[in-house]
Amino acid sequence: MTVGKESPLMNVAYLYPWDVVGDPSAPGRLADLGVRTVALAASYHSTRAATPYHPAHRVLDVSYPALYLPVRPSSWSRLVPATPTWTPADAYLQARDALKAAGLQVHAWTVLTHNSHLGATHPDLVVRNAFGDPYPYALCPAHEDVIEYCERLVREILEVAEPDGLILEACGPMGFGHQSIHEKTSGADWTSTDSDLLSLCFCTSCAPRYPEPTRATVRAAIDRTSPSNATTPKPTSHTPADTSSFNGPATPEEALGQLADEVRAVRVALSTTLRQRLIAAARSTAADVPITLHANPDPWATGAFAPLPSGEPDADVLVANCWGDPATDATRLARLKELATPGQRVGAYVLALPPRPADPEVLADQLRTYAKAGASEFHLYHAGLASPPRLAALARALRLHT
């Protein structure tokens, strides 16, 4: 592991460029929060964001994914990131300079394979489930064009943005779960295992990598049929049913049976290849810049926190999502801590937004739980979206938890 510029212990507040550009009070507000580092979005997906502090607006419609640095045509190949219309083209640079002037370190928060703009314009490169349905927000890293785009993105951010650190999010395949459009899938009563199975990609690059019966096995598991009649619709009933009757396999391993080991290895390899190539690209571009990975020790994980079941010694920080039940989050953190190498830091990605209460005592107790599980730093989501009372509660919690 390359030792970066940062000292071992720190807290990181996540922020968008538009939270700072046009708001001269933002840097001081962040410094008062009690953090020394800001994770500033350099490349980010579409969203609709509240801006409770900004002097010019309260809601910002970010209608497509964009790069918040000037897009230099010579730096790109087939896939070219979009330029935002809701902020200046150099919004990251403007925000970075303002934050650094307040004495804050600035890390480049880089979203990789989560990109609905590029997925819509390049449908041959997106994740497709076992039924052939495309996920246009999800670029599949089984394609060389996708890996090359991510490499170019990392290099461009390091060269142009000159961040104090690099944070890699969605460093692997995205999956079924997604919230950038109105979600209307809960009535299907799919389980968490179904979601894992619907996250398996069968695009033209992924499908040949699996054992031959995999597609039929996945389709049969989702439809609760046998592989031999996987295309036959299930009988329907007009009478209300107990949803427990729809329960299928408890785990992906149970659903896939003897295929599970090989399918799991294929899935993990996609993230491993992308991650290792991006780390190599980053080290060759800016050797001393510390690298943080948003990671999940679950080998079936997809999404913003990519699977990392065997660890990654060449990263500086491993960060686990802590947005759910604190006990479950702590278990995930403890497993990530077990995978960490000596000297490698582990961070907890802490939610300061609803449904978390704006209560400093409750938040401090959760921080203590995460610290006990192995977190040496807290990544705080989100310093721009949180209301003034929530931000005050978070600042108080950071002081209370020790």
pLDDT in tens, 200-226: 999 999 999 999 999 999 999 999 886
Cα–Cα dist 172/383, whole Å? 26
Cβ-contact 285, 252 below 8 angstroms? no
In the chain, DSSP finds a helix count (H) and a strand count (E) of 11, 14
Residue 29 has pLDDT above 80, yes or no: yes
Question: What confidence tier does 189 reach under pLDDT thresholds 50, 70, 90?
Answer: confident
In the prediction, which pLDDT does 182 show?
Answer: 64
pTM tops 0.85: yes
For the cut 70, the answer to whether the pLDDT of residue 307 exceeds it is yes
By the 8 A CB rule, do 110 and 92 touch? Answer: no
pLDDT at 160 over 70: yes
Residue 179: what pLDDT? 59
The neighbouring-strand residues paired with 67 are 43
| Average pLDDT across the chain, whole number | 91
For residue 352, the Cα-to-chain-centroid distance in whole angstroms is 17
363 φ/ψ angles, rounded to the nearest 5 degrees: -65, -40
Nearest to 272 by CA among 293, 251, 290: 293
94: left (phi over 0), alpha (psi -120 to 50) or beta: alpha
> Is the pLDDT score of 231 beyond 60?
no
The pLDDT value given to residue 3: 33
Whether residue 66 is predicted with pLDDT greater than 90 in this model: the reply is: yes
Position 246 scores a pLDDT of 53
Give the whole-angstrom CA distance, residue 101 versus residue 188.
51
More confident residue, 123 or 231: 123
pLDDT value of position 10: 74
The model's confidence at residue 70, banded by pLDDT at 50, 70 and 90, is very high
**381/378 Cα distance (integer angstroms):** 9
Name the burial class of residue 24, with classes exposed (0-12), middle (13-18) and buried (19+) by CB atoms within 10 angstroms of its CB: exposed
What span, in angstroms and rounded, lies between the C-alpha atoms of 304 and 391?
24
- CB 331 within 8 Å of CB 18: no
Residue 191 reports pLDDT greater than 80: yes
At 238 the pLDDT is 35
Q: What is the mean pLDDT of residues 41-52?
A: 95
Tokens representing residue 22 in the block: 């046009």
The reported pLDDT for the residue numbered 236 is 37
Q: Which residues contact 388 (CB under 8 A, 6 or more apart)?
A: 52, 53
Residue 352: pLDDT above 70? yes
39 vs 96: CA distance, rounded Å: 10
The predicted pLDDT at position 309 comes to 97
Q: pLDDT digits over 281-297, tens only?
A: 999 999 999 999 999 99
pLDDT value of residue 178: 73
E-strand stretches of 297-335: 306-307, 317-322
- Assess whether pLDDT exceeds 50 at residue 370: yes
pLDDT at 177: 86
Nearest CA-CA partner of 168 in 155, 179, 178, 181: 155
Q: What is the pLDDT of residues 86-145, one digit of tens each?
A: 999 999 999 999 999 999 999 999 999 999 999 999 999 999 999 999 999 999 999 999
Residues with Cβ within 8 Å of residue 295, at least 6 apart in sequence: 171, 305, 306, 307, 308, 312, 318, 319, 320, 336
Q: Which amino acid is it at 20?
A: V
Averaged pLDDT for residues 316-343: 97
β-bridge pairing 12-15 and 37-44:
parallel
Counting Cβ atoms within 10 Å, is residue 132 exposed (0-12), middle (13-18) or buried (19+)?
exposed
Residue 228: pLDDT band (50, 70, 90) is: low
CB–CB of 300/267 below 8 Å? Answer: yes
The Cα 111–Cα 185 span in angstroms is: 25
Q: What is the mean pLDDT of residues 163-174?
A: 97
